[in-house]
Structures are given as structure tokens and as C-alpha cells.
Amino acid sequence: MSKLKRHITESAHGKGKGAVCFHPSGKQIYTVGGSSINMFDAKTLSQLNDEPLKRAGEATTPLYALSFSAKGDQFVTGSGVEDESQRIDDKAAGDNKSTAVPFTVDLYLYPTNKFDALITRFTSAVHALAFNPSGNQLAVGGEYVTDA
């Protein structure tokens, strides 16, 4: 299974972190990586979109997480960073803490794939997303950043 994920995400987004998720119908596979979203036919693995879907707004942090609601009418993406060089320093603000570039969880509508809402922002990378079975709650997993 990991070979399939690596094949699809590398062919769609190049090397690096990414995520793959089946649409609940089982007919499509969505991938995220870099700053784009791609769609594939689950049987043939052929790409369904001519151009990758771009992230909403001016977001620049790479996408690491992806999840569909159980009904399949919406999906979410979460972002992260590859290394510490992408973090920003808030020491100038007087709190002596380093925080991450703002990471987001974004909501998209299916089947239009249109951005619908910014659900939340974090100061650390988002690595996992999962809807509950009814689709009215979303679990978010990621890094916890502290100063040593």
C-alpha cells in the first residue's frame, strides 16, 4: 500500500511529504503535496484534473494532510513545513517564544472542489485529519512546539 501512495503522490507532487485519501464512493483518490491538490481515478490511477487545484488565498506552507467527510460532500486539507527554517521568531513581540508560520485547516466542497472556509489556524504543522462518522466533528493531529 505504501508503494501505491508513494507512486501517486510522487507523480502528482514530486518528492516530499504528502497525503492520499479515497473519496467515500471509492471511485476517486485525492492527493495533496506541495501547495496543490490532485484527483485520480481509483481504478485506472489516471489523473482526472488537467491542472492541480491550488490552495485557497495566498497560503504557501505545504499540504500534509487530507480527509473526506463520510458523506463525501466536503474535504479538508492541513499544512505543515519541511524544516525549522520556515518558522518565524516572535521574540521581537516581547514574548521570547518562537512560533511556526501559520498553518491552516481548509474546507473544500465536493464535487466542485471549491474552497469554502478556513476552519482554523495553528502555530505548528498539521499532519493528520479525520472526520467523525456523522461529519460534524473534525479531529486534527500535528506537532506540539515548545521552547526548550
Domain topology for 2-142: Methylamine Dehydrogenase; Chain H (2.130.10)
pLDDT digits (tens, 9 = 90+) for 8-57: 655 666 666 788 999 999 999 999 988 889 999 999 888 898 888 877 66
pLDDT band at 143 (very low <50, low <70, confident <90, very high): confident
* pLDDT surpasses 50 at 100: no
pLDDT digits (tens, 9 = 90+) for 50-91: 888 877 666 667 889 999 999 999 999 998 775 555 554 444
Q: What is the pTM of this model?
A: 0.78
Q: Domain residues of the chain, as ranges?
A: 2-142
Mapping DSSP onto H, E and C, the string for 36-92 reads EEEEEECCCCCECCCCCEECCCCCCCCEEEEEECCCCCEEEEEECCCCHHHCEECHH
Rounded to 5°, the CA angle 64-129-76 comes to: 80
Q: Give the C-alpha separation, 94 to 88, whole Å.
A: 14
* pLDDT surpasses 60 at 97: no
DSSP H or E segment with residue 6: helix 2-13
CB contact burial 67-92 (16+ within 10 A = b; e otherwise)? bbbeebebbbbbbbbeeeeebeeeee
pLDDT number for residue 4: 58
Q: Let me know how many helices (H) and strands (E) the chain has, helices first.
A: 1, 12
What DSSP character marks residue 101? P
Cis peptide upstream of residue 24 (ω within 30 degrees of 0) = no
- Which three three-digit cell numbers place residue 17? 511529504
Q: Give the C-alpha separation, 16 to 10, whole Å.
A: 8
